[in-house]
Structure 1
Amino acid sequence: MRFRTPPEVKARAGGDRVLAWLPSGASSVVATELALVLPEGSDPVRVPWDLVLRAQWAEGVLDLTAQDGPGGRPKLVQVPFTGAPDVLAGVVRERVNASIVVQDHVTLSGTQGARVVARRVPGSADLRWSVVFDAGLDRRDPELRARADAALAELRASLGV
């Protein structure tokens, strides 16, 4: 059985192909080929898949952790929803995982380090590289930053990019 996408959901998708959606108050949460579109009034309203860091679904609330832009700091957005999130949650998981091309954890100080990740920019052949430091490490420390940059360069060279 196939359901028709309601016109208001299509409008929220901004021309992208709708993959799944759930009601959220007077609006909706919409998964498209390129992004997760959050309910009207959310900040941000649209999160490209390569910026989604984590999505946790529980008791009518989606806890979404996403970067506020390439290289940006993580931001938690709580989004209420109505109904069973199974289909939407599966689409979100698939899209986030599909955006990850490679990831590696590198040691920078003792047992702590950073995760180096290359993610595919939705709708493009471009890769977006990021370095996420473990909790407790200062990403502004010049020595740690130099080690992380060297690890990133080594990983990119090993992949030929």
Structure 2
Amino acid sequence: MFRSGKGAAMAVDDGFRDRSVLVVEDEAFTRMVLVRMLSGMGFAAVHQAADGAAGLAAVAEHRPDLILCDVEMQPMDGFAFVRALRAEGDRALAVLPVLFMSGRADAERLAEARASGADAILPKPATPDALRRALAERLAVRAAG
């Protein structure tokens, strides 16, 4: 964020302006906080889903540019969500960036995430700066690939 001379906050353009993101998170408060942070970053659209099954339906409906997904959800956790997403057979979904959020972001959890088809893990709770960097990195990797 930077401030103009009049003190009004303005979003830094990280290439989010023409992008959409889907938040898949079962905790309503956490989902609301993430939606507000992402909206403040300038995303064109921020979609949300309360679990993995609703996330799959939201992907089909909205075709987001990237997904921010909790790992530990019920009844379908983040690992099952990503495996189902990648199994769709759609090339666009096979490369759709998925960034997991987890209170546990150690090497073992990262290996599990990658094995399921996720791209990276962002430790919870996510700060706005860490979230911005991680999302910008995932979009840059997708654009380069």
Q: Which has the higher strand share?
A: 1
Greater helix proportion: 2
Structure of greater Rg: 1
What is the TM-score of this pair, normalised by structure 1? 0.27
TM-score of the superposed pair, with normalisation by structure 2: 0.29
